Amino acid sequence: MSTSYDVINPATEEIVKNVPHLDLEATDLVIVKAAKAFETWRHIAPGERARLLRSFSQVVTDHREELAQIEITNSGHTRGNALWEADNVANTLMYYAASPERLFGRQIPVPGGIDVTFKEPLGVVGIIVPWNFPMPIAGWGFAPALAAGNTVVLKPAEYTPLSAIRLGELALIAGIPEGVFNVLPGKGSVVGNRFVTHPLVRKVVFTGSTTVGKQIMVGCAEQVKRVTLELGGKSSNIIFADADIEKAAAGAPGAVFDNAGQDCCSRSRILVQKSAFDNFMEHFEVAVKKFRVEDPNLSTAEMGPLISKKQFDVVESFLDEPIAFKGNAPTSPGYWMAPTVLLPKNTQARSWREEIFGPVVSVMVFEDEAEAIAMANDSEYGLSGSIWTRDIGRALRVSRGIETGALSVNSNSSVRFWTPFGGFKQSGLGRELGPDALDSFTEVKNVFISND
């Protein structure tokens, strides 16, 4: 039986649209359609596939305002972020549009003939997207998947399907053939799970919680289905006393409160070297208090609301630890929460260990480099992080010492479409983006051709 879902604007709590959900039967029909489309898409000449992806990128750029507005209304993302996200889809498509003609194999010396390798597409790729960054996370999956010659079935999150639905329409406008890129709004337990169980889906790219990611991995094992997992995080922002403390403090709110903290890369643990603690906290308090939490339509907004009442309640449950200070938030309808800085008693505190996924950060002190590394690594996660120091040797030692996939030194920026992204430990499996992403959407085939 088909169902539907009321999409809510989290900044006003008003219903934006009712979106029909696909049931199992409808999901299967689209998967079969994608499998059929694969037979032609895989054989399209590399230059033509590249041209179609460039065209898709251009159409996304032509609709950036519309896509951004959809994300502001559906997800409460700030205008600045939403425009960046639409552009990120266009940029990721353009970056991978360069790859169909560069999908090189190798020629390996062998006696008696030649040996060559081919990178063959997998077939239908299933992409399961979370609600926190609906556009970029979709694009990080579908752009390289399509470039490698696969067709795609994509399931957006229940809360935030609207931008993905529009991207599906824009693909057709750009000339991507029917059946190649398919968006299937629906429940995780129905549509998402069908990607895992349907034998025609040859790979699942899942971004979401570690709990569901583990279930996906178990399910994929049944068919030895390829899987990429981008999961939770509990990343550290490590500030050494020799750093530019004012700069580190000014950047720290954005590093954790951007997207209302609903960011797998959010630096939700701040580790400050003891001798710099008072100085850091003084500047940090000023920066937190002036962090602008307001109507996401305003170009000045730095943070919008949380995605849902459910998420609000989860985040609120972390606020029973000592609070150092708070920022501001509107009191109007909407899932608004003020940025909050906690001082947990010890490293066993819940706020220090669990992914909060909201505008809450915990601060603790450390004595020396060894303790900073040990504290940062004392987590089941390992996705991102920042290191602030003026000592290059220390920056290198600590970067190599921390078990995490995407680090930045004297910066909080760690995600670019042309560099690899993914997690250590329970933050994930495999890498997205960067020059090697097509390897995760192809199989290597080795062919020996005899001289005889």
Query: Please, what's the b/e burial string for 206-216 (b: 16 or more CB within 10 A of its CB; e: otherwise)?
Result: bbbebebbebb
- 127 touches ligand NAD (CB under 6 A): no
Residue in this structure with the two tokens 């603690």, named with its chain if needed: 277
- 264 touches ligand NAD (CB under 6 A): yes
Considering only residues 35, 94, 128, 433, which one is a binding residue for ligand NAD as defined by CB under 6 A?
128
Q: Which stretch binds ligand NAD (CB under 6 A): 126-134, 162-170, 235-243, 436-444?
A: 126-134
- 228 touches ligand NAD (CB under 6 A): no
- 215 touches ligand NAD (CB under 6 A): yes
Which residue lies nearer to ligand NAD by CB, 185 or 327?
A: 185
Whether 129 contacts 138, CB under 8 Å:
yes
Cα–Cα dist 428/229, whole Å: 5
Which residue lies nearer to ligand NAD by CB, 57 or 427?
A: 427
Smallest separation (angstroms) from ligand NAD to the CB of 345: 25
Q: What residues are paired with 103 via a beta bridge?
A: none
Tally of CB atoms within 10 A around 274? 13
Considering only residues 100, 134, 168, 192, which one is a binding residue for ligand NAD as defined by CB under 6 A?
192
Considering only residues 230, 258, 295, 302, which one is a binding residue for ligand NAD as defined by CB under 6 A?
230
Q: State the amino acid at position 309 in one-letter form.
A: K
For 19, the token pair is 């979106």
Cα–Cα dist 49/176, whole Å: 9
- 126 touches ligand NAD (CB under 6 A): no
Which residue lies nearer to ligand NAD by CB, 99 or 311?
A: 311
Alpha-helical segments (H) within 222-260: 245-257
In this structure, the strands spanning 236-239 and 269-273 are parallel
Which contacts (CB < 8 Å, 24+ apart) does range 314-320 have? 314/356, 314/357, 314/358, 315/261, 315/356, 315/357, 315/358, 315/359, 315/360, 318/342, 318/350, 318/351, 318/354, 318/356, 318/358, 318/360, 319/360
State the angle between helix axes of 134-147 and 162-173 in degrees (0 to 180), rounded to the nearest 10.
Answer: 40
Considering only residues 91, 207, 228, 414, which one is a binding residue for ligand NAD as defined by CB under 6 A?
207
Which residue lies nearer to ligand NAD by CB, 53 or 135?
A: 135
- 208 touches ligand NAD (CB under 6 A): yes
Q: Which stretch binds ligand NAD (CB under 6 A): 29-37, 94-102, 151-159, 319-327?
A: 151-159
- Active-site residues, by number, are 230, 264
Considering only residues 315, 383, 387, 402, which one is a binding residue for ligand NAD as defined by CB under 6 A?
383
Which residue lies nearer to ligand NAD by CB, 209 or 347?
A: 209
Binding site for ligand NAD (CB under 6 A): 128-133, 137, 155, 157-158, 188-189, 192-193, 207-209, 212, 215-216, 230-233, 264, 355, 357, 383, 423, 427-428
